[in-house]
């Protein structure tokens, strides 16, 4: 019964994340925290998000912005290393508190009246490197949070599909590194591995079912839904 509940929740979470450009990990944090020690949750999420990213790269391959991928990874990888290291030294209660504040803190974004349109601006290399580091740091610490950086993708004129595809390409490498680190740091157990596989299967199925819906979502709703899922998760 446990695995059925997790599969259904994961399928819904990753379905929502396709529509709003991410957030599945943040939604699942509150679910997985009920079944696993909080320090093992990022390891489980890494399996699920790795599976999701792999399937999305296949589905949306033509929409990947390789320039962003090229400048994102050099600083994202050190960020992941630092975030994963921090996870092993921080009390689990503090991790839960930080997660909750991290999510609820996005409430003002939900009610912004601005019409978010792709602006077509060029982000400098230094900006991309900075975004990469903080995205990696957040990802390594809680194995989620990439949706926070969707706004930067929108500023350079990327569509919904391009954001989903480019983020997936970025996250494949990060998730592989995180999995290796979590295993090395002793954060995996047989239970967390089984749950991770269940989450991964749900993620792949959800990506293929939802691929026809995302082109119909406006950029404004794409942005608003993303922050709404984060607040609800908190």
Q: Answer with the residue of higher pLDDT: 182 or 121.
A: 182
b or e along 25-63 (b: 16 or more beta carbons within 10 Å of the residue's beta carbon)? bbbbbbbbbebbebbbbbbbbbbbbbbbbbbbbebbeeb
Q: Answer with the residue of higher pLDDT: 220 or 185.
A: 185
Query: What angle, 0 to 180 degrees and rounded to 10, lies between the N-to-C axes of helices 41-59 and 24-32?
Result: 150
For the four alpha carbons of 80, 82, 87 and 88, in that order, the dihedral sign comes to positive
Mean of the per-residue pLDDT values for the chain? 77
CB 153 within 8 A of CB 163: yes
CB 28 within 8 A of CB 10: yes
Q: What is the mean pLDDT of residues 20-29?
A: 72
Q: What is the three-class DSSP state of 233?
A: helix
pLDDT digits (tens, 9 = 90+) for 154-171: 677 777 788 888 888 888
Q: Answer with the residue of higher pLDDT: 218 or 147.
A: 218
Of the listed ranges 129-133, 181-185, 192-196, the least confidently predicted one is: 181-185
Q: What's the pLDDT score for residue 232?
A: 65
**How many CB atoms neighbour CB 229 within 10 A?**
24
Q: What's the pLDDT score for residue 33?
A: 81
Q: What's the pLDDT score for residue 184?
A: 82
Q: What's the pLDDT score for residue 117?
A: 54
Mean pLDDT: which of 150-154, 180-184, 226-230 is highest?
Answer: 180-184
Per-domain boundaries in the chain: 2-233
pLDDT digits (tens, 9 = 90+) for 70-88: 888 888 889 888 887 877 7
Q: What's the pLDDT score for residue 136?
A: 80
Q: What is the mean pLDDT of residues 12-40?
A: 78
Q: What's the pLDDT score for residue 6?
A: 92
Q: What's the pLDDT score for residue 208?
A: 84
Q: Answer with the residue of higher pLDDT: 68 or 146.
A: 68
Of the listed ranges 52-61, 122-131, 202-211, the least confidently predicted one is: 122-131
């Amino acid at each position: 019964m446990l695995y059925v509940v997790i599969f259904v929740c994961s399928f819904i979470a990753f379905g929502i994340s396709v529509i709003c450009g991410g957030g599945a990990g943040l939604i699942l944090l509150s679910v997985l925290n009920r079944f696993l020690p909080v320090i093992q949750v990022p390891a489980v999420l890494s399996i699920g998000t790795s599976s999701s990213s792999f399937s999305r790269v296949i589905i949306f391959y033509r929409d990947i912005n390789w320039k962003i991928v090229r400048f994102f990874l050099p600083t994202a990888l050190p960020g992941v290393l630092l975030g994963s290291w921090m996870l092993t030294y921080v009390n689990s209660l503090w991790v839960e508190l930080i997660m909750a504040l991290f999510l609820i803190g996005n409430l003002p974004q939900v009610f912004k009246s601005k019409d978010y349109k792709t602006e077509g601006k060029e982000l400098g290399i230094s900006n991309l490197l900075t975004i990469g580091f903080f995205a990696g740091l957040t990802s390594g610490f809680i194995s989620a949070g990439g949706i926070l950086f969707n706004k930067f993708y929108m500023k350079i004129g990327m569509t919904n599909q391009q954001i989903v595809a480019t983020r997936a390409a970025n996250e494949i490498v990060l998730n592989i590194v995180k999995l290796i680190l979590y295993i090395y740091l002793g954060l995996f157990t047989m239970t967390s591995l089984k749950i991770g596989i269940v989450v991964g299967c749900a993620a792949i199925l959800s990506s293929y079912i939802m691929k026809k819906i995302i082109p119909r979502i406006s950029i404004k709703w794409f942005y608003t839904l993303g922050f709404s899922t984060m607040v609800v998760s908190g």
